[in-house]
Structure 1
């Protein structure tokens, strides 16, 4: 790979990001900026200071033509915007061209939380008490108890866990503390008692695999899916669905949008407001079922019944 100003600028940007962001965030931005670099180098552009709004639109258009989904395009734009901010801070650009390019429109789909009773049956299903089963149960309970992202749970160390709370590093390297419920604490205590049977000496990760090291993202996703199938859940289970369920069930009970925003680690309230739409659907269904003047009568009136 050629040593060009562009490559040095990308490396400097990612090195700066690594000082405040999680490894997962850095890896995602590296992937997106590599795509940008490949695009620019194909045009013989070897310095990021040549980037302008026109080039960025061409880049996003080319990525869209390759079949990238709107969510992936939005992430590409976010990575380029971060690079632009870095170059402005370093005095290499007068302004960030990404600010002139809107974020690609996202599809307006709502998350689908699990039913409360269905989720309770899943979590309460007995298991064989092996170290792996205890670990998987602790992960399930912690995801639902605290609304963690996959990267947040995977990045947990033993020292992050307190008696009734857990410290996590969220998006953009933003730390937060979230409560740990009683059932999750019980599951974690059972796992911690069995953890030495799996963990390698000196390993600090809270959740480890059979080889003793930190459990990776794909391994966590795979284990949760396998556990859900074994316990009879008829739908696919992934970590983000447990996070959706946490937020939706908490908002339905508390009606406190700001508290849910803080617990989820959302920087903007608008991100959390998608759950108000879910809650509205629940309330609207209850209204239609219960209010005497909300439903159309089954026995339609005749013209003479005035």
Structure 2
């Protein structure tokens, strides 16, 4: 992972630890970097160390362990307050962004907690962790959108064109295995072992998924039509190949999914490649797959992430109760004459 010359060495060391030891993706490490850079800029601004400098231009190369030792839990909470209020006004956002902001603040808390835990427990540069009691903000989770069985079948039946075998196989793996888009793009032919497939998930964590009959048939139908990829290090061996003979890209997959969603008569503004992952998880859970097994299938590190699918069933049960034709019936009291 590349280091940033505009970043202090202590932060670069932490990012390298995240990537090489903790196995975090470059994307996650970069997001943590942006969050911590904002935090340090905020602290310098609050302490009058960056007067007359626009916030986004405040340098942080001078941040060292002595400066970090002065940071308190109150500083962290003040920063979270800033991201919730001042930053909101700065971006001219409205109240519809509150859900996104709480999610963003939760990630900033995660970045701060990880950084200070690293300094305390791993680098041993701090004798105590000043923000170990920093709490995560509550995040309102909305129920994930998903396709019904009939909508999923309509989607599969909408596939056509010169790459129909490839595209059908992609949709089938999404709907049956619950893969992330990045995981599907990263698949190699060598990852297929009879009725199993090796998936490289977040943090470079591997998991083996069983392939049902529909997936095996789709793969077997696709392989004879697979475009022979270029022999470069990234594309060689790729399972899904573009017409340019390169490993298929996320943008290509997202585009083709949107195309077939529209062709199936569904709303492409409501459904995406990621929603197919939700569809697979929902259909599995609703048909008896227990939550721990579903966690393993989806590659969730924390079962709390998987628990959202239990709420889908609750919502469906509530909806079923309200749709009963007797749901609005009100008992009519008998009059005294009826009793005679």
In 1, the alpha carbon distance for the partners of 2:13 and 2:215 equals 41
In 2, the alpha carbon distance for the partners of 1:2 and 1:252 equals 47
- In the alignment, which of 53, 57, 61 is matched to residue 77 of structure 2? 57
- Equivalent runs, 1:138-287 vs 2, <5 Å: 138-197=169-228, 199-202=229-232, 203-235=236-268, 236-254=270-288, 256-287=290-321
Aligned to 2:57: none
In 1, the alpha carbon distance for the partners of 2:194 and 2:320 equals 38
Work out whether residues 227 and 245 of structure 2, in 8 Å CA contact, stay in contact via their aligned partners in 1: no
Work out whether residues 102 and 137 of structure 2, in 8 Å CA contact, stay in contact via their aligned partners in 1: yes
In 1, the alpha carbon distance for the partners of 2:167 and 2:23 equals 23
Give the C-alpha shift of residue 287 in structure 1. 4.6
In 2, the alpha carbon distance for the partners of 1:101 and 1:186 equals 51
In 1, the alpha carbon distance for the partners of 2:38 and 2:318 equals 49
Aligned to 1:81: 113
Aligned to 1:122: 155
In 2, the alpha carbon distance for the partners of 1:111 and 1:270 equals 14
Aligned to 2:64: 47
Deviations 1:179-201 (A, max 9, x none): 2222222223333323334x212
> Which structure is larger by alpha-carbon Rg, 1 or 2?
2
CA gap 1:76/1:253 in 2 versus in 1, 3 angstroms: same
How large is the RMSD of aligned CA atoms in angstroms? 3.0
Aligned to 1:18: 19
CA gap 1:97/1:160 in 2 versus in 1, 3 angstroms: farther
Aligned to 2:27: 27
- In the alignment, which of 69, 72, 75 is matched to residue 104 of structure 2? 72
Give the C-alpha shift of residue 146 in structure 1. 0.7
Deviations 1:98-133 (A, max 9, x none): 5322222212311122111111111122412x23x3
Count of residue correspondences: 298
Deviations 1:15-50 (A, max 9, x none): 233236667x32232133134224414615612644
User: So what's the TM-score if we normalise by structure 1?
Assistant: 0.83
CA gap 1:256/1:60 in 2 versus in 1, 3 angstroms: same
In 2, the alpha carbon distance for the partners of 1:259 and 1:7 equals 42
Unpaired stretches in structure 1, ≥5 consecutive residues: none
Give the C-alpha shift of residue 93 in structure 1. 2.5
CA gap 1:142/1:97 in 2 versus in 1, 3 angstroms: farther
CA gap 1:86/1:136 in 2 versus in 1, 3 angstroms: farther
SS in 2 for 1:168: strand
In 1, the alpha carbon distance for the partners of 2:203 and 2:169 equals 26
Give the C-alpha shift of residue 69 in structure 1. 2.3
Moved over 6 A (4+): none
